[in-house]
Structure 1
Amino acid sequence: MLRGINPLLSPDLLHALRAMGHGDDIVIADANFPAQSNGRRVLRLDGITATAALEAVLQVMPLDTFVPDPVLTMQVVGNPSDIPPVVAEFQKIVDDVADNPVKIASLERHAFYERARGAFLVVQTGETRLYGNILLKKGVIGS
């Protein structure tokens, strides 16, 4: 056990977050996301919501400040401007926890899958709410 570290951050997840470099992407995915076919590295957090995982990750990982959209979600098929409740909750967490709060942008479903294929890590959660997928670009910690 460690003090000050969210217990949802498993040893494997902490290792992966520390191994990531500036500009690397991490996907926090829902239970329906095709993680094994769209992720080079996949870690599972079964039984954990994507929102809880996002909050834990943002407590220790900086967001990139060198790109316009360091946080992306998947657009609703057939209604790209719709904001599902889980995405609204993602935005609240980014606003409250991120070191660099930003407005979340979105990608069309297949474009999101393509970005996920290049991500450093996909964390598959037990999230059952549809569209509970979010991609974060890691930033730097200044001196």
Structure 2
Amino acid sequence: MSRPATPDDIDGICRALPEVELGTSWGDRPTYKVPAGPKGRGFLLYRAPGATAIDPASGEPFDDLLVIRTGSESDKAALVDDDRLPFFTVPHFRGYNAVLVQESRLGEIALDELTEIIEDAWLAVAPARLRKEFLEERGHG
């Protein structure tokens, strides 16, 4: 097992993927997108605190949430339902293939596992050509 992940790992994992840029979406939220440029689709977003995601312990909006895309509803459920992992969802995300995780809890995830989850997020939105090249390079094509 690899070392625990940290918030500092996010940028390196995302930028190691083909044709990724850090842009914005949902208004002004920092978002990793593929491909670079105006047609880019977000796969990992730094979410602003809001009334739709409240920390049950404090009653305040979470202030360190990441939104990570998933390939399907079943992929989302697998992450949320795995008691080892800190992923969760909120009613606001019903029907949207993405999970939430607090940056402060990334240490509960092994770096290699977080890398795979982010790669899967990238695969969920990347253009077909990039997906094919990426998977072929890893011997999955």
TM-score normalised according to structure 2 size: 0.28
Question: Normalising by structure 1, what TM-score?
Answer: 0.28
| Structure (1/2) with the larger helix percentage | 2
Kindly indicate whether structure 1 or structure 2 has the higher relative contact order, using CA contacts under 8 Å at least 6 residues apart: 1
The structure with more radius of gyration: 2
